[in-house]
Structure 1
Amino acid sequence: MKTVLVHPTYFPSIVQMAALAQAEAVVFEVCGNYQKQTYRNRCYIAHTNGKLLLNVPVKHSKDKTRQKMSEVVAENAFPWQKEHWRSIQNAYRTSPFFEFYEDDLAPLFQTPVTTILNFNLAIYDVLAEMVGLQVPASKTTTYEVSPNVTDLRNLAIAKSKIVYPLDTYTQVLGAHHEWLPNLSILDLLFNEGPNALLYLESQDLSLLA
């Protein structure tokens, strides 16, 4: 792929991270409106009973008008950071590489979050370092309905029914449930460690064309 346009999401899905790993450059959409029930403020990790949703609560505008993504702030009256980190620890503490990445991730759950957008961008910076991504990144300056780059903003749709042909890998909780594809990149990192980048670069993303 050449340049791809994506929404900054909360601990992105494996497919989104694979698209970034295979791109020549990435542009983050920062000018669009916020939409509910998307990966902008949620992700899925593995759990003993299957997938577990981690959802960042947001403050909605009092007048119910549409908000720009850049204006949406987290609802920190609820200790969601503490609960998300506890869920991640419970799910992956026995995985091969959890301790390898733990210290890099912990600060994301210990520093109060303001806007969801800035938090997601900060998450990406940490993940890129962990994965070893060296893809040039920039941000949009205006919202374009039909951009002249590869538009992958639809990857933020949480209810998408598209099944991507991802290669399987050993999941730490695999004995408890069937293979769980396209979870958060955290699942791949904790289970595959330094091999994660090679995995991302080798996935068939023809369905994105």
Structure 2
Amino acid sequence: MRLAILQPSYLPWLGYFDQIDRVDTFVYYDDVQYDKNGWRNRNRVKGPNGPVWLTVPVKLSGRGLQRICDVEIDGQQNWAQKHLRSITQFYAKAPYGSDYIPGLTELLGRTWTHLADLDIAINQTIIQWLGLGARVVRSSTLGIDGDRNERLIRICRHFGADHYLSGNAAKAYIDLETFAASGISVEWQDYEHPSYSQLHGAFVSHLSVIDLLMNAGPESRAILRSGRPIDSKPA
């Protein structure tokens, strides 16, 4: 059984959903330390002049180190309306903009207090749009602790996973021998970003997955899958 573990992210890129598509169980790693200036609260979409950041303001000042699941959104800022305005402006003329803008409008129009809840709710909707079938859980509900490698292994064991899919950035800290000794093989994602027909000039990669959805609609899942190694298949 395959498993992947990733921190919740805001409107993530294609590779995030590739991991979800390639496993049986996907774990949102929502109770680890929040990384400021990471992807938890921001991502990029494409406007007429190139990539544009959409950032969810969060409360960090004076709060010390926080777990992702504890980070609160700064509701005093008009961020959701700004994001919707940008998305609508940039993608209203996209081939499938009318298929997805209403859903994003409903999601972002809700009252959100915690960043992880927002991220996961949006990602779950995108999972449905893409037709992905992995079981999804939050690590904060599992009661599993341990140091970096030990905890990952314990989560794998909890679900009976013998195959762990990881992004390549984790090569810096994944202890392959420890995983192997626990009966768990590690596979590196090795994802290569595919290209597709896109609005606003020359193709730009590594945007939010909503750029793919708006431009490719029902072909999005096939395009998403085209970036993985040829011998790797969905779970």
Q: TM-score, normalised by structure 1?
A: 0.86
Residue 195, structure 1, aligned to residue 219, structure 2: yes
Task: Find the aligned partners of 1:198 and 1:25 in 2 and give their Cα distance.
Answer: 21
Q: Specify the alignment match of 2:175 in structure 1.
A: none
Instruction: Deviation per CA, 1:122-179: give whole Å up to 9, x if none.
Output: 1111111111111111222335511233344959xxxxxxx953221000112xxx32
Structure 1 pair 173/29, CA: closer, same or farther in 2 (3 Å)? same
Aligned 8 A contact 1:6 1:153 in 2: no
- Contact preservation (8 Å) 2:13, 2:209: yes
Please tell me the residue identity of whatever aligns with 2:128. Answer: E
Using CA pairs under 8 Å that are at least 6 residues apart, name the structure with larger relative contact order, 1 or 2.
1
User: Pairwise CA RMSD of aligned residues?
Assistant: 2.1
Q: Secondary structure at the residue paired with 2:53?
A: strand
> In structure 1, how many angstroms separate the alpha carbons of the residues matched to 2:54 and 2:229?
25
Q: Please name the residue that 2:182 is paired with.
A: none
Which structure has the greater CA radius of gyration?
Answer: 2
Identity of aligned residues (%): 25
Residues 78-105 of structure 1: CA distance to partner in whole angstroms, max 9, x if unpaired? 1000000000011111000010112221
1:166 aligns with 2:193: yes
Q: Counterparts of 1:205 and 1:74 in 2: how far apart (Å)?
A: 37
Long gaps (5+) in structure 1: 156-162
Instruction: Call closer, same or farther: CA 1:151–1:204 in 2, change over 3 Å.
Output: closer
Cα pair 1:58 1:74 within 8 Å, conserved: yes
What's the counterpart of residue 114 of structure 1? Answer: 113
Please identify runs of 4+ aligned residues in structure 1 that moved more than 4 A: none
- Matching residue's letter, 2:197: T
Pairing of 1:1-209 with structure 2 (within 5 A): 2-62=2-62, 64-140=63-139, 141=142, 142=144, 144-146=147-149, 147-148=152-153, 149-152=164-167, 165-174=192-201, 178-204=202-228
Counterpart position of 1:159: none
SS at match of 1:51: strand
Q: Structure 2 stretches of 5 or more lacking a match?
A: 154-163, 171-189, 231-235
Q: Within 1, Cα distance between the matches of 2:37 and 2:168?
A: 14
- Preserved contact between residue 171 and residue 191 of structure 1 (Cα < 8 Å): yes
SS at 1:67's partner residue? Answer: coil
